[in-house]
Structure 1
Amino acid sequence: MAVLKNKEIIKMDEKTRTSKLKDLKMELIKANVSANKTNSKTKEIKRAIARILTFNKSEKTRKLKEK
């Protein structure tokens, strides 16, 4: 899993972000099954999920303010 940057998230459309979020959650489940302890891979996946969720939330807030 490569590092997911904010610039990459901004370029994605909503459909792509939701599919990427789904993929990351599945990858997190697989990583947790294979590792007993939290390692750097699971931490990076969690950060990427948090970035996408934060961006989605800020987009929602921005759209509501525009209305």
Structure 2
Amino acid sequence: MVILRSKEIREMGTEEIQKKLEELQAEHANNISKSAAAGIYENPGKIRELKKTIARVKTILNEKNKEN
């Protein structure tokens, strides 16, 4: 997973942002299910960063939708 900065996200198109959001959500669900199955969080920092990145992407996507 690559950490996306706000500047990088704003440079993307709306469709590209939505595609990236789906990828991030799938990766987050995968990490959560692995952690739940094992009972141990391998890398809680990665899960936390994924959640922050998803929130960042959703915020910018909403901003772009309000502009149009």
TM-score, normalising length from structure 2? Answer: 0.81
Q: Which has the higher contact order (CA 8 A, sep 6+)?
A: 2
* 4+ long deviations beyond 3 Å: none
Contact 2:14/2:64 (<8 A) preserved: no
Between the aligned residues of both structures, percent identity stands at 27
Offset, 1:18: 0.3
Q: Aligned partners of 2:44, 2:18: CA distance in 1, in Å? A: 25
- The size of the alignment, in residue pairs, is 63
| Alignment pair present for 1:58 and 2:63 | yes
TM-score, normalising length from structure 1? Answer: 0.82
Gap runs ≥5 in structure 2: none
Q: Aligned partners of 2:7, 2:22: CA distance in 1, in Å? A: 19
Offset, 1:60: 2.4
